Amino acid sequence: MTEQSRNKLAWMILRITLAVLIAAHGWFRFLNGGVEPFGGWLNGQGIPLGFWVAAAITALEILGSALLAFGRLVRPLCGLFAALYAMGIVMLHAGEGWFVVGAGRNGAEYSVLLIVALLCVGLQHSTKKANYLD
């Protein structure tokens, strides 16, 4: 395997892994009745139409992650997901500290890792026509 092939494979694995992690958020929320409580929380944070914002975020996580996994709209989706998770840090996780578990709870570290990985994948992704696994 050439270095170029290894690089393409590594970026594809990271992109698909990110897509699976993001999809898990959306599908769990959707299948477990979490959209309405999320919308209520958003309303409580001063976000108008909280339910509809929560529904849109959930749909984006479900549908957008599938597109991301198949290498479609990678740059805009990576930017959108990074912005979404940055807002999560601002609105929730920063106030809980850094650590997700162990030395803290519900902190920002996981979101920071997702954001950095998303930005790297988005910056790396080629805009030229290629097969769906590129």
Distance CA 131, CA 134 (A): 6
The pLDDT tens digits for 62-101 are 999 999 999 999 999 999 999 999 999 999 999 999 998 8
pTM for the whole structure: 0.90
Q: Assign residue 38 a region: left if phi > 0, alpha if psi is -120 to 50, beta otherwise?
A: alpha
The pLDDT tens digits for 6-54 are 999 999 999 999 999 999 999 999 999 999 999 999 999 999 999 999 9
How far, CA to CA in Å, does 108 sit from each of 10, 28, 36, 78, 123?
Answer: 25, 20, 24, 18, 22
Q: For residue 35, how far is the Cα from the chain centroid?
A: 16
